[in-house]
Amino acid sequence: MKNTDFVVRFAGEGGQGVVTSADGFASANAQVGYHVQTFSTFPSQIRGGPVWTQTRISTEPIRSSGDDLDVLVAFNEYAYNEHKSEIREGGVIIFDSGTFELEGVENSFGMAFDDLARSTGNARAANMVVMGALAYLVEIDQSILEQFVTKRFTRGRPNDQEIIESNIKALTLGRIEAENSGFMIGQMADAIPPEGEQVLINGNVALSLGAMAAGIDVYVGYPISPATPILLFMENNLPGPGKFAYQSTSEIESITSIIGAAFAGKKAMTATAGPGFTLMGEGIGLAWMAEIPVVVVDVQRGGPSTGLPTKTEQSDLLTALYPGHGDMQMPVIAPGTVEECFVAGHRAFAWAERYQGPVVVLSEHMLSERNQNIPKPDLSKVNSENRSVYTGTNGYQRYDGWELSPMPIPGNPGSYVANGSEHDGMGDTTHLADRHIQMTNRRFSKLKLLEDGTYESQNTDASIVLMPWGGSKGSGLSAYEELAEEGVDLGWYYTMYLSPLPPKLLEELRTKDLVLVPELNYMGQFASVLRSQGVKAEAITQYTGLPFKVRELASRIRDRVGTQQKESVTA
Amino acid sequence: MTSKNPEYDFKWCPGCGDFGVRRALETAISRRTVEMEVAPENNVIIAGIGCSGNMVHLLEGDQPYGFHGIHGRSLPIAMGAKMGNPDLNVVVVAGDGDFLGIGLEHISPQAARNLNITAIVMDNGVYGLTKGQSSPTTDLGAVTSSTPYGKTEDKLHPFKMYLSLGVSFVSSTMSSQVRQMSTIMSEAMDHPGFSIVHIQSPCTEYNNTFELLKGNVRKGIPGLAYDIPEDHDDADWDAAFDIASNDGIPLGVLYRDTTRPTLDQRIDEVSEKVKAKSVASLLDSYAI
């Protein structure tokens, strides 16, 4: 039987081509119709330090980066020692014999990555040597990689042909080394190309494209891992008539300047990570209070403080919901896949413009860096929304009443004071109790306009259900299916609209005996949010800086379901 | 209470310098309405927190748009508003605490960008709204509620700082000179770039410097304020810095550089160089 799934990890040091190998291998295989997904993790430094990336290739759509390694490519001895325990039985290690020797390890073979590359006349082709060897191990035709090389290096430069030839030579050298080793992983089944056009993008790009599809006018951001690529995307792609992107001097400047732009009528967004998001707290409160539509993206990393800047964690949910002081609650959309990052990008704008206030998008490091093939988003299905604009004469009471009202735009009649202090109908500061009651109710009642979030569910009759959020969706869904196949009576719920939750979903969750929430944090943040809304929720936590492995997660769910069932029998 | 809104209950103290500043600002805005035919709603007044921040509610007459934001952040809010719509006349009103204390970090980048807005700074050398704490422009050694044994920080010198940071229009005036203030405000609003109108606006409650500024012949107080000589060339940065380095409070325009492009012009220049990209074409660029 042919393999339908292949997982390879590249481990070494920053600057050795670990990332380009993973991305290149993914791109090449995506071109012939395999499903691909990459994962990368690295220390917060430019050169050196342990880096590893992983590429998974499959004939089926991919949900997570893969539990066990078919092949480990070790660029140095440290990498081998760190990762050897994750190689599956029958898996193979390719090590760089130019750097170290691995003696007495049966399932391994060495080749000198750099020396082989240099022998082609192109010292930069070491990753091609590796890719050639990999293709041989899973019997993927080398022509697939050759096509990829030709496409990538046809750049209209005089030496294109030379570079293409040396890279192809490098592929061949790698293949010969693998052939001589005598190892095979087993043939990879032919690709089943997905129907419809596909794009290969990561979560940060998907989110940025979603924002552009919604009609973003202004982007202001400050560099911070792992959100910097959104700033770079916007700087490169947003400028045009009436549209601009700008690098600020701090996250405080980012949030307050997009508030100013949104006040002036623009669709505006910023993106940051935990530390920057914390700095934005007061500004987000201002947008809530003054009723200014803005989108704030938090690409979560490990926290608190500087924490783990280049690792993945889902520990910003509580701060996303309550980023500032006082009575306020953010609408929060937390995409769980690259595809959903695109959706979150435009839904966040729809929500912000609709209820005239700030909306938080919670992405994650693992999504931001994940390159994956997804169906090309259908732009005709993006329902972009614009705010309700006041078109009357001067003398308008902008904040009058208990619910949403049209927003005047400076330059047009309808002058008012956008105010972060408690205010009356025209926006003047007030301390009257009746006003504070009216305005507080007004601000919270607007959240009802956002109860159109969708959700997924399976086996809804079960009394114990699984409900991961964000990037844990993929591993969660695979674990759910594994358990369902075993006959475990478990239900499945998922939504990216965490606040406000779709009302019908909340209603269903409240009828369950136990809602298990896998999440990557210590506190069990989403479980506690659900409990505060009357759901019997319990978290399954992990805080390693890495995503859940399907097998480990399934085992923890299985154990917990078992205990619960025993308890209910005893009762 | 204002004539337009009986519910609004904030008051400046009797004799507060900010009354004069308000009168000058109202005059400057209505001058734009009358002389330049700029509709009142084309003006946006952006305030932070402090006594000065209430300017947005207390303005009588033509009503501009207002933004009463958070402490220290009026400059970046103003940047967003101005860049969102470069046709707006955007004016920041701030106190010395708001502008030079918590908000100090925002002056330098706007000077470097030459953001085309006007900042009106009401300097009373004290935090008034929180009842008399020391501010960056409080004198060294001064006893205030927060420096009971004397202030241990040197006094900040705003004019030397503005000039060093590259603010392209630097002016100085005082709250009792309503006509001069409003003239300078109009010039500042007309200035293509980042303009600051720094006003000595004494706090009658916690730091009454009226007499020190204007002097009192009977008491033998010479008065710190003096008119900048008419022959001062305000295009000459070194001359401006000399004035700023002298003792006393100069009244008038110290420096004016109309040659630097404004932020909106800079962004326009960039935008003209690049071809606007559609989402559809960007998506295509990631096609497999």
- Tell me: the pLDDT tens digits for A412-447? 999 999 999 999 999 999 999 999 999 999 999 999
Domain assignment present for residue B249? The answer is yes
Which phi and psi angles does A208 have, rounded to 5°? Answer: -65, -40
pLDDT per residue as tens digits for the range B182-196: 999 999 999 999 999
A410: nearest CB among B41, B73, B79: B41
What is residue B86's predicted lDDT score, i.e. its pLDDT? 97
Q: Which of B2, B8, B66 sits opposite A430 (nearest CB)?
A: B8
Q: Which residues of A touch B288 (CB under 8 A)?
A: 30-31, 198-200, 373
Residues of chain A neighbouring B282 (CB-CB closer than 8 A): 209, 212, 237
Is residue B215 in a domain?
yes
Q: CA–CA separation, B72 vs B105, rounded Å?
A: 9
User: In this structure, are residues B286 and A206 in contact, taking their beta carbons and an 8 Å threshold?
Assistant: no
Q: Look at A256 and B73 and tell me if their CB atoms are within 8 Å.
A: yes
Q: How many residues does chain A have?
A: 571
| CA-based nearest residue to B203, from B248, B144, B260 | B144
Which H helix or E strand runs over A333? strand A332-333
Q: Do B83 and A217 touch (CB under 8 A)?
A: no
Q: How far apart are CA A295 and CA A287, in angstroms?
A: 10
The Cα of B277 is separated from the nearest Cα of chain A by a number of Å equal to: 6
Q: What would the DSSP string read from start to end of A457-490?
A: EE-TT-SEEE---GGGHHHHHHHHHHHHHHT---
Position B1 scores a pLDDT of 44
Q: What domains appear along chain A, each with residue ranges and CATH number?
A: 5-181 (3.40.920.10), 200-381 (3.40.50.970), 388-450 (no CATH), 456-570 (3.40.50.920)
User: Alpha-carbon distance A257 to A283, whole Å?
Assistant: 10
* Cβ distance of A257 and B79 shorter than 8 Å: yes
- A260·B80 Cβ contact <8 A: yes
Give Cα separations from A262 to A169, A267, A409, B112 (angstroms). 55, 6, 9, 23
Residues 6+ apart with CB under 8 A from B52: B18, B93, B94, B95, B98, B122, B201
pLDDT band at B10; cut points 50, 70, 90: confident
What's the pLDDT band for B271 if we cut at 50, 70, 90? confident
Sign of CA dihedral A79, A83, A88, A89: positive
Query: Using a CB-CB distance cutoff of 8 angstroms, which residues of chain B are in contact with residue A261?
Result: 80-81, 83-84
Q: Hey, what amino acid is at A563?
A: T
Average pLDDT estimate for B176-205? 97
Q: Is residue B28 part of a domain?
A: yes
Per-residue pLDDT band at B274 (split at 50, 70, 90): confident
CB A125 within 8 A of CB A168: no
The CATH number that applies at residue B61 is 3.40.50.970
Question: Which residue from A360, A348, A220 is spatially nearest to B80, judged by alpha carbons?
Answer: A220
A267 in helix, strand or coil? coil
H or E element that contains B127:
strand B126-127
The residue in chain A having the minimum alpha-carbon distance to the alpha carbon of residue B272 is: A240
| Contact across the interface for A199 and B10, Cβ inside 8 Å | no
Contact B73 A201 (CB under 8 A): no
Does any domain span residue B203? yes
**Cβ of A265: how many Cβ atoms within 10 Å?**
20
Q: Distance between CA atoms of A208 and A271, rounded to whole angstroms?
A: 10
Average pLDDT on B24-50 reads 95
In the block, residue with structure tokens 């799934």:
A5
Number of domains in chain B: 1
Cα distance from B213 to chain A (closest Cα, Å)? 33
- Report in angstroms the alpha-carbon separations of B107 from A220, A330, B76, B104: 17, 31, 9, 6
Domain presence at residue B48: yes
Give the residue from A281, A362, A274, A262 showing the smallest Cα distance to A326: A281
Residue A239: list chain B partners with CB under 8 A: 267, 270-271, 274, 276
A225 neighbors A215 (Cβ within 8 angstroms): no
Query: Measured between CA atoms, how close is A42 to chain B, in angstroms?
Result: 25
* B4 token code pair: 């337009």
Q: What is the pLDDT of residue A80?
A: 96
Buried b / exposed e along B48-81 (16+ C-beta atoms within 10 A): bbbbbbbbbbbbeebbbbbbbbbbbbbbbbbbbb
Asked whether residue B127 is domain-assigned, the answer is: yes
Q: Within a domain: residue B10?
A: no
A311 Cα to chain B: minimum distance (Å): 26
CA dist A137 and A158 (Å) reads: 34
Interstrand relation of B118-123 and B195-200 (parallel, antiparallel or unpaired)? parallel
Q: Retrieve residue B129's tokens.
A: 């709204």
Option in B77, B274, B282 nearest A257 (CB): B77
Chain B residues with CB under 8 Å of A430 CB are 7-9
- B169-174 and B195-200 strand pairing: parallel
A393 to chain B, minimum CA–CA distance in Å? Answer: 11
For residues B80-85, give the mean pLDDT: 98
pLDDT at A254: 98
Chain A: closest CA distance from residue B279 (Å): 6
Percentage of chain B beyond pLDDT 70 is 99
H-type alpha helices, A416-549: 433-445, 473-486, 503-510, 525-532
Q: Searching chain B, which residue's CA lies closest to the CA of residue A397?
A: B5
Dig out the tokens for B15 from the structure. Answer: 């004799």
Hey, are the CB atoms on A417 and B109 less than 8 Å from each other?
Answer: no
AA letter at A88: R
pLDDT at B62 over 90: no
Q: Quick one: pLDDT at residue A404?
A: 95
Cβ-based neighbour number of residue A91 at 10 Å: 21
Pick A244's closest partner by Cβ from B5, B10, B271: B271
Residue B71 maps to a domain? yes
| Residues A268, B56: C-beta atoms closer than 8 Å | no
Per-residue confidence of chain A (571 residues) as pLDDT tens digits? 799 999 999 999 887 888 888 999 999 999 999 999 999 887 767 677 889 999 999 999 999 999 999 999 999 999 999 999 999 999 999 999 999 999 989 999 999 999 999 999 999 999 999 999 999 999 988 898 999 999 989 999 999 999 999 999 999 999 999 999 999 898 999 999 999 999 999 999 999 999 999 999 999 999 999 999 999 999 999 999 889 999 999 999 999 999 999 999 999 999 999 999 999 999 999 999 999 999 999 999 999 999 999 999 999 999 999 999 999 999 999 999 999 999 999 999 999 999 999 999 999 999 999 999 999 999 999 999 999 999 999 999 999 989 999 999 999 999 999 999 999 999 999 999 999 999 999 999 999 999 999 999 999 999 999 999 999 999 999 999 999 999 999 999 999 999 999 999 999 999 999 999 999 999 999 999 999 999 999 999 999 999 999 999 999 999 999 998 888 887 6
CB contact under 8 A, B286 and A201: yes
Around Cβ A334, how many Cβ atoms within 10 Å? 28
Domain ranges, residue B157? 17-261
What is the percentage of chain B residues whose pLDDT exceeds 90?
91
Helix or strand run (H / E) with residue B256: strand B249-256
Residues of A whose CB is below 8 A from B111: none
Mean pLDDT for all residues in chain A? 95
